[in-house]
């Protein structure tokens, strides 16, 4: 049976899990209220999460109806949710500025890195950028973040400048990277090939998008 990952828009209730990954990923993590603002009031922002398979109920099924009733009463009294939120393996986001999609963040849970999930999130960023009418993607990355730079180069980003002392924690420079033009047919073809190679790499993993403005079909081709 195929394992299913779902890429879907980030919701406010995802923020605690996003923050847990964020704290393990960045030396200047965004506070929870920044994510809340992005989701609730920034109309230019598009944030997604990658839901992991194996979403289990909070507790095992009740053995008898009386057990079930007791549990429900307790849950109502404690106002606890019946199910935990689905586990999240990573997230990413962008802002649309005129016809440029600025990737603001991308991160995969440290325990899940190296399995193609960063690529899944980046592919989703490309899909969203195209869907909302961007012509390019751009981002800043620490000059020492070779792993992320390699991921971006794989997808056709190149260095187009430097922002001096961009990061306030250690005064590190940021490399400014740009994709090629999304409407360039050769680039489109290369992206489609990368997408197919990613799907092969993930093998039995099925990437199921949810319906909605940020739904992201991986096998869209073209």
Give every CB contact of residue 10 below 8 A, 6+ residues apart in sequence. Answer: 18, 35, 39, 47, 48, 49, 91, 93
- Stretch of residues binding ligand COA (CB under 6 A), selected from 2-10, 104-112, 123-131, 183-191: 104-112
Instruction: Give the one residue of 29, 75, 113, 143 binding ligand COA; rule: CB under 6 A.
Output: 113
Residue 108: which H helix or E strand, with range?
strand 100-108
Which residue in the list 119, 152, 155, 180 is annotated as catalytic? 152
Is 167 tagged catalytic?
no
With H, G, I as helix, E, B as strand and everything else as coil, classify residue 89: strand
Interface with ligand COA (CB under 6 A), residue total: 19
Torsion of Cα atoms, 9 then 14 then 17 then 21, to 10°: 30
Nearer to ligand COA, 75 or 100 (CB): 100
141 binds ligand COA (CB under 6 A): yes
Torsion of Cα atoms, 67 then 73 then 77 then 81, to 10°: 70
Nearer to ligand COA, 19 or 25 (CB): 25
117 binds ligand COA (CB under 6 A): yes
Instruction: List, in sequence order, the alpha helices (H) in 104-165.
Output: 117-131, 146-154
Residues forming a β-bridge with 205:
3
Which residue in the list 22, 38, 140, 180 is annotated as catalytic? 140
Is 78 tagged catalytic?
no
154 binds ligand COA (CB under 6 A): yes
With H, G, I as helix, E, B as strand and everything else as coil, classify residue 67: helix
Q: What is the binding site for ligand COA (CB under 6 A)? A: 25, 106-108, 113-119, 139, 141, 145, 147-148, 150-151, 154
Catalytic residues: 140, 152
């Amino acid at each position: 049976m195929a394992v299913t990952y779902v890429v879907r828009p980030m919701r406010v209730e995802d923020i605690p899990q996003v923050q847990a990954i964020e704290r393990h990923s960045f030396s200047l993590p965004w506070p929870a209220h920044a994510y809340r603002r992005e989701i609730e009031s920034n109309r230019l922002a598009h944030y997604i999460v990658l839901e992991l398979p194996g979403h289990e109920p909070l507790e095992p099924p009740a053995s008898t109806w009386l057990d079930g009733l007791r549990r429900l009463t307790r849950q109502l009294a404690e106002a606890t949710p019946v199910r935990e939120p689905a586990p999240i393996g990573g997230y990413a986001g962008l802002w649309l500025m005129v016809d440029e999609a600025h990737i603001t963040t991308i991160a995969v849970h440290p325990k899940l890195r190296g399995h193609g999930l960063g690529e899944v999130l980046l592919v989703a960023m490309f899909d969203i950028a195209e869907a909302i009418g961007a012509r390019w993607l751009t981002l800043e990355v620490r000059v020492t973040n070779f792993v992320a730079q390699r991921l971006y180069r794989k997808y056709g980003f190149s260095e187009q400048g430097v922002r001096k002392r961009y990061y306030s924690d250690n005064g590190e420079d940021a490399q400014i990277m740009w994709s090629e033009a999304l409407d360039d047919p050769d680039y489109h073809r290369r992206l489609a090939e990368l997408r197919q190679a990613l799907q092969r790499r993930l093998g039995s993993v099925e990437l199921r998008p949810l319906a909605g403005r940020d739904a992201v079909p991986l096998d869209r081709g073209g």
